[in-house]
Amino acid sequence: MIGSGAFTDQAEVATERVSSNHTDRPLPTGLTTTREASFDPGTETITFEVTYSGQKSPLKGSFLEVVPGLNHDDPCPPITWEDPAVQPHKTSTTGLRAECGWRFDDVDIPVDHEVTFRGSYPATVADREELETWLTQTSKATHDALNDSEVTSTAYPVQRLQDIVVEVPERLVSQTPVDITLLPVWPNGIDELNPLMKSPVSGSESTMLSNIAGSFENVRFSDGCSGSVAVSSDGLNATALSVSTDCRIRAKVGNFTDLESNNFRITTRN
């Protein structure tokens, strides 16, 4: 098995073009990542592609890809990317430790579309199985960096957001707006300091909400109170109408389509 920078044992170098691919399971945000790699023995070059696609809503923002060397002890591959905007990942700006990490900025994935980044670097492999192993290691290295539970960070929300908590005060007064807060859940837990959205709505979407849902058009609240709550026609605001001791707000946010708030009660003003 030969990695980048080691071209001594030509007996272990594939003599024909070989390729492989690996597709990750979809993330909670709807993102699917597919990786492909091919080796050209004529140029002794590995070409690497990472493709992102979504499901129910558009996705955008910055994305992380960790690309380790072919072998455990190899240095980070000196990849030349076709997109000059691809830059090395920086722990100092994201808080995430990701050796051999690359940052793809301004990624925009419309519904039913995909975006591909392609790069290459000098290296050799013995066979297709070696490429398969490397792609699996690349997937795991990226997953591990993104899901470090000891890190507090809002970086790479499309890849790191695990869930959304719908939070409503435990007691509301009838004929008043329902205060709804959408809180992101990262690998290290619920983030109370950086809400995705608050209702009643004022202003434009937060950057994180835009990243994982596109716009307010992909956010909808609905009554889980048997008629005790009225939701506005745009689905973004709710009003407490009548007394209820068992009330919830249901929500859809991008690919998160089955969210429900904590239980709350509606009382009279007296």
Q: Which of 176, 173, 218 is nearest to 197 (CA)?
A: 218
DSSP letter string, 53-90 = E-SSS-EEEEEEEE---SSTTPPPP--EESSTT-EE--
pLDDT confidence tier of residue 270, bands split at 50, 70 and 90: low
- In this model, does residue 4 exceed pLDDT 60? no
Average pLDDT, whole number, for the chain? 93
Integer Cα distance of 36 and 43 in angstroms? 18
Position 269 scores a pLDDT of 77
Residue 36: partners with Cβ closer than 8 Å, 6 or more residues away = 19, 20, 21, 22, 48, 49, 51, 135
Distance, in Å, from the CA atom of 67 to the CA atom of 65, rounded to the nearest integer, reads 6
For 187-228, write each residue's pLDDT tens digit.
999 999 999 999 999 889 999 999 999 999 999 999 999 999
User: What pLDDT, in 10s, does the model give residues 84-135?
Assistant: 889 999 999 999 999 999 999 999 999 989 999 999 999 999 899 999 999 9
**Res. 184 pLDDT band, cuts 50 70 90:** very high
State whether the Cα torsion 87-91-96-98 is positive or negative: positive
Tell me the whole-structure pTM to 2 decimals. 0.91
- All domains of the chain in start order, with CATH: 10-150 (no CATH), 161-267 (2.60.40)
